[in-house]
A = this chain, B = another copy of it.
C-alpha cells in the first residue's frame, strides 16, 4: 500500500490505525479509448505503487476505503468493490518502503510499523477521469494516470493486485454490474453514443464485440435513455445520444 499520512502519523507508533492491515486501490478511469489506473510515484526513488491507506481504530473497513479513495481522488459517491485480500508473506518487501521513507528524509527504526508485514484488502473503483483531481499522499511526488497496457514496474505484489482487479471487473461486467444500471456512468461522459459505450466494453474485455448485437443487447437491458440525436461529428449519419436512466439502483458496496 501507500499512504495517507500527516507527518506525526509517520511516527513509529502508527497508533491511530489498525496494525498490519492496509487497503490497496485499483482506480480505473477511461480516456481516449484507454483504461487507465492511478499510480503514485515516490520522490527520488523511481518506485511506483497503487494508492493505498490504513483503517482507523474506530472506522468500518469499507468506510475507510471510501475515505482514502476520496482523499486520493477528491471524489465521493464512487463505485467501489472489495475484491480480494492479499496476505502472502512474500508480498511485503521492506527494502522499497525503507527507500521511500529515507528519500523522504525519515530514517525508520528496524521495527517501524510501516516496515512490518501487512495484509492488504484490495478494492477496485470506477471513477470519472475528467472529474477526478488526483492528489499524491505525503510520501509520494505524483498521483497520475497510467495506461493499463503500459504500466511501469510496481512495488511488491501490486501487479498481481491489478491483474486480479481486472479479472474481477471483467467477470462482474456480465453479471453483477448489469444490476447497477449506472456502473459505467463514471467512466463515460454524462451523454454518450452507443459507439462510446461499446468501446468501453471492448477496452475492458480486451476483445472486439459485434456492433449490432451489442446495440440490441444494451437496449434490451432497458437501462439507457435515448435523447435527440445530434453529435456533429464527421461526414456520416449522426448517432443518437444516450444517457443512463436515473433509476432505483441498489447502492454499489455491500
Contacts and interface: CB of A to CB of B under 8 A. Distances in A.
A121 B60 CA distance: 14
Interface string A148-184: 0000000000000000100000010001000000000
A228 B121 CA distance: 49
Chain A interface size band reads: 20 to 34
Interface stretch (A79-87, A101-109, A234-242): A79-87
A61 B119 contact: yes
Interface in A1-31: 18-21
A89 B56 CA distance: 10
Given A20-B18, A20-B19, A175-B171, A61 B82 contact: no
Interface centre among A20, A57, A87 (most CB of B within 10 A): A87
Interface of A is mostly: mixed
A117 interface: yes
- This chain: copies in complex: 2
A111 to B, nearest CB: 13
Interface of A: 18-21, 55, 57-62, 64, 82, 84-90, 117, 119, 121, 164, 171, 175, 254
A55 B117 CA distance: 12
A215 to B, nearest CB: 25
B84 A60 contact: no
Interchain residue pairs A-B with the least CB separation, the first 8: A61-B87, A85-B85, A60-B88, A85-B121, A18-B20, A60-B89, A19-B19, A21-B119
A88 B61 contact: yes
Given A19-B19, A82-B84, A171-B175, 14 more contacts: A18-B20, A20-B20, A21-B21, A55-B87, A58-B89, A59-B89, A60-B87, A60-B89, A60-B90, A61-B86, A62-B88, A64-B87, A85-B85, A85-B121
Nearest to A176: B171
A57 B88 CA distance: 11
Contacts of A164: 254
A148 to B, nearest CB: 20
A84 B62 CA distance: 12
Contacts of A61: 85-88, 119
B60 A18 contact: no
